[in-house]
């Protein structure tokens, strides 16, 4: 298993245009340091999802650069970026409890069981949701 460590993310003057001259993302400069937690909030159509999709490699950056640990991500395939996103309307497996929803992507990557247990516990503690690990999505409130 590859050692997991926090990474720094940096966007420099990132721009995205859509057909018809729509300037969806305008000159975004952003620095996210290792261990920081980032949330994008704003009105519909302001470029939140487009920015996240560019970071994940699902959208092409028309202008500017995206770096992960000072390595350029522009042009790197999404599957090679080792990233994930969580949107407001979450997509959880309703038949699994919170613990298994958190563990599922790690199981798919064939992580050792011990490492999965450790990582899920770390994530739950950092999100302050340890008391909800045995609940299914239907038993969680929206708050």
Q: Hey, is 114 helix, strand or coil?
A: helix
Shared domain for 52 and 115, answered yes or no, is no
Shared domain for 105 and 76, answered yes or no, is no
Domain of 63, CATH number, reads 3.40.50.300
Shared domain for 21 and 75, answered yes or no, is yes
Query: What confidence score (pLDDT) does residue 90 get?
Result: 65
Q: Are 9 and 55 in contact (CB under 8 A)?
A: yes
Q: Are 46 and 40 in contact (CB under 8 A)?
A: no
Sheet strands (E) in the chain: 9-18, 22-32, 63-68, 71-72
- Structural domain total, the chain: 2
Q: Are 25 and 50 in contact (CB under 8 A)?
A: yes
Identify the domain boundary among 80, 111, 128: 80
Q: Is residue 110 part of a domain?
A: yes
Read off the pTM: 0.64
Q: By residue range, what is the domain housing residue 58?
A: 9-80
Shared domain for 17 and 61, answered yes or no, is yes
| Spans of the chain, pLDDT less than 50 | none
Angle (CA) 103-105-108 rounded to 5° is: 110
Query: What confidence score (pLDDT) does residue 2 get?
Result: 55
Tokens of 51: 């920015």
Query: What confidence score (pLDDT) does residue 89 get?
Result: 60
Shared domain for 18 and 72, answered yes or no, is yes
Burial class (CB in 10 A: 0-12, 13-18, 19+), 35: exposed
Shared domain for 22 and 56, answered yes or no, is yes
Q: In terms of DSSP H, where are the helices of 10-47?
A: none
């Amino acid at each position: 298993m590859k050692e997991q460590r926090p990474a720094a993310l940096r966007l420099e003057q990132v721009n995205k245009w859509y057909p018809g001259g729509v300037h969806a993302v305008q000159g975004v400069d952003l620095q996210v340091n290792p261990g920081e937690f980032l949330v994008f909030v704003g009105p519909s159509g302001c470029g939140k999802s487009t920015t996240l999709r560019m970071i994940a490699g699902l959208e092409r950056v028309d202008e500017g650069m995206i770096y992960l640990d000072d390595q350029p991500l522009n042009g790197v395939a999404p599957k090679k970026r080792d990233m994930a996103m969580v949107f407001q309307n979450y997509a959880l497996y309703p038949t699994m409890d919170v613990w298994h929803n958190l563990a599922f992507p790690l199981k798919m990557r064939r992580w050792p069981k011990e490492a999965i247990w450790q990582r899920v516990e770390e994530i739950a503690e950092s999100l302050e949701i340890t008391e909800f690990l045995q609940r299914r999505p239907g038993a969680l409130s929206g708050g």
